[in-house]
Amino acid sequence: MLAFVWSAVWCAVYGRDRLFKIAGTCILLIMSVGIIRDWNYGPYPDDHFALSVVRMREAKPGERVVIPVVPDGWHMDLVKKSL
């Protein structure tokens, strides 16, 4: 990807033929529009964090609580300590 972008920049800036300059500039403009339109993050999935908080509060000291985290399939193992 980086080589493609660098090639487009080189064509737009250092191209000797007018066709190369136009092609490089068009590619960079079209890529810019695509990057702007695709620049978003999807919402995080609901892992019912409030339920995990309740389980942690109700756990006895020394008890292990498993809390799911993003990405799917990952989890945190927490051990409740006494105060």
Q: Say yes or no to pLDDT of 82 above 90.
A: no
Write down the domain spans for the chain. 2-38, 49-79
Question: Which tens digits make up the pLDDT trace of 27-76?
Answer: 999 999 999 998 888 888 888 999 999 999 999 999 999 999 988 889 99
H-only helix segments in 1-83: 2-14, 18-38, 49-58
Select from 43, 27, 46 the least CA-distant residue to 35.
27
Question: Which tens digits make up the pLDDT trace of 6-33?
Answer: 999 999 999 999 999 999 999 999 999 9
Name residue 35's beta-bridge partners.
none
